[in-house]
Amino acid sequence: MFLAGYIDATLKKIKANTANMLTLVNLGLGGFAIIYTLNDVLKLSLLLIFLAALADRFDGMVARKFNIESELGKQLDSMSDIISFGVAPALLIYKGILFELGAPGAFFAVLFIGCGAFRLARFNITDNCGFFSGLPITAAGCIATLSYLWKDFMPVHSYMFLLMILSFCMISSFRIRKM
């Protein structure tokens, strides 16, 4: 009897924290992407960012399916997203491409991170009613990351414009229906 109660309580705790565990997987993958970028293993970093996007997609699905959405989960998700889809893609694009431009390249990488952080903070304090306001950082980070694959075909300066456009799209007020 005691063991059954203990197992039941443990399973409830695991279920209640499943989404947060997936969010931490997202964060971990983003952290590893940053480390691999710093070590010039850029293609692995790119892969890790996309795997983080999968974990990010599933954490929200799990939270809704199990009805375990929480304020803690929302804040943790945003902190993970700024690492995986703000810092990691900006660093990948800077280290792989924009470093050639010096300070202007660094400026646009930091602008991307700042706009992503602003977008996440705004998301956390507003009632979203089934819509995103501005481009979600996950989408912006994945577009920036994907653009790395075109580095041999796009001029270096175009990456400054890409990051600028994505940055302004994140902080803009247009609405996108949640999927």
Per-residue tokens: 46: 């790119």
Q: What is the DSSP letter of 69?
A: -
**Number of alpha carbons in the 13 Å side-chain half-sphere of residue 10:** 6
pLDDT of residue 141: 98
CA pair distance 173, 175, nearest whole angstrom:
6
Per-residue pLDDT averaged across 73-101, rounded? Answer: 96
CA pair distance 20, 78, nearest whole angstrom:
12
CA pair distance 112, 23, nearest whole angstrom:
22
Please name the helix (run of DSSP H) or strand (run of DSSP E) that holds residue 115, with its range, or none.
Answer: helix 103-125
Q: Which domain holds residue 108?
A: 2-177
* pLDDT tens string 88-109: 999 999 999 999 999 999 999 9
135 in Cβ contact with 82 (< 8 Å): no
pLDDT of residue 157: 96
Please name the helix (run of DSSP H) or strand (run of DSSP E) that holds residue 52, with its range, or none.
Answer: helix 42-65
CA pair distance 161, 176, nearest whole angstrom:
22
Per-residue pLDDT averaged across 140-158, rounded? Answer: 97
pLDDT at 10 over 80: no
Lowest mean pLDDT among 107-111, 128-132, 145-149: 128-132
CA pair distance 119, 168, nearest whole angstrom:
10
Contacts of 30 (CB under 8 A, 6+ apart): 48, 49, 52, 80, 83, 84, 85, 87, 88
**Number of structural domains in the chain:** 1
CA pair distance 71, 97, nearest whole angstrom:
37
User: For residue 68, what is the domain's CATH number?
Assistant: 1.20.120.1760
* Percent of the chain clearing pLDDT 90 (strictly above): 70
Residue type, 64: R
